């Protein structure tokens, strides 16, 4: 696909499998490219499935001064760390998914507005503000079964951030929606965005951005949806994409 060469004013970067290498580290090459882009007045926005709690240190170390899209678009944070927007999952739905995970003996995690939960849930589950639920299932057959049950409900935005997991947000919530809101706040268009990612939770932003880039290690559907494929996350693929399309 070729949409011509849009003018890039914002770079949206997924974190795990994209900006970060296999040790969850940002390479020097990626750091340099981000700095160079910012010198040209291009905003760099992390757009991640992570919560603020597990993304914030990277924002600080990269000295990013722009918005932050977390939990697959469930939250948008402003340049001064203020909460701009938050979209919740019904606690009853979270309880249903928790029960589903128990029924299939699946590992799970969940993100509430105040905490990240791993293979455990709070006693006051129904009174928390929930942003996302995730399943980690090694067995294909069980994962397919869980996926079918989730899809049959028709209540959720379903994606993944690795081949072995399922990520569930409130319906209509994805990274593209989060970025649209950021673009509106900055007075730019999605056509001016370059989005880079590797997993199914990146497809919406990759297809809706002016320029969608898949990582060399991306899942096949992501590569098929993208305008271009860059290097792997272990080869500073983000820096290569920024060099090629922005610098």
Question: Of 174, 149, 172, 179, which Cα lies nearest the Cα of 160?
Answer: 174
Q: Which of 2, 14, 227, 228 is catalytic?
A: 14
Contacts of 74 (CB under 8 A, 6+ apart): 86, 87, 88, 89, 111, 131, 132, 169, 170, 173, 178
Q: Work out the angle at residue 210's Cα, subtended by the Cα atoms of residues 206 and 215, and round it to the nearest 5 degrees.
A: 35
Taken in order 168, 25, 52, 66, the sign of the CA dihedral is negative
Active site residue 114: no
The rounded distance, in Å, linking the Cα atoms of 78 and 194 is 20
The rounded distance, in Å, linking the Cα atoms of 221 and 200 is 7
Residues annotated as part of the active site: 14
């Amino acid at each position: 696909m070729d949409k011509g060469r849009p003018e890039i004013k914002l770079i949206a970067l997924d974190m795990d499998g994209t900006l970060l290498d296999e040790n969850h580290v940002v390479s020097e090459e990626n750091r340099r490219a981000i700095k160079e882009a910012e010198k040209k007045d291009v905003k760099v926005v992390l757009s991640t499935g992570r919560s603020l709690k597990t993304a914030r240190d990277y924002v600080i170390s990269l000295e990013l001064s722009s918005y932050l899209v977390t939990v697959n678009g469930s939250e948008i944070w402003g340049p001064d760390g203020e909460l701009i927007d938050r979209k919740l999952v019904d606690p009853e739905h979270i309880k249903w998914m928790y029960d589903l995970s128990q029924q299939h003996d699946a590992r799970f995690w969940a993100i509430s507005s105040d905490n990240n939960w791993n293979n455990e849930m709070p006693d006051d589950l129904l009174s928390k503000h929930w942003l996302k639920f995730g399943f980690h299932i090694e067995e294909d057959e069980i994962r397919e079964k869980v996926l079918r049950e989730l899809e049959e409900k028709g209540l959720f935005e379903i994606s993944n951030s690795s081949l072995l997991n399922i990520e569930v947000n409130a319906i209509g919530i994805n990274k593209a929606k989060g970025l649209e809101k950021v673009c509106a706040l900055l007075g730019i268009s999605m056509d001016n965005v370059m989005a880079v990612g590797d997993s199914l939770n990146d497809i919406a932003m990759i297809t809706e951005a002016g320029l969608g880039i898949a990582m060399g290690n991306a899942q096949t559907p992501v590569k098929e949806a993208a305008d271009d494929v860059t290097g792997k996350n272990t080869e500073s693929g983000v820096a290569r994409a920024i060099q090629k399309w922005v610098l």
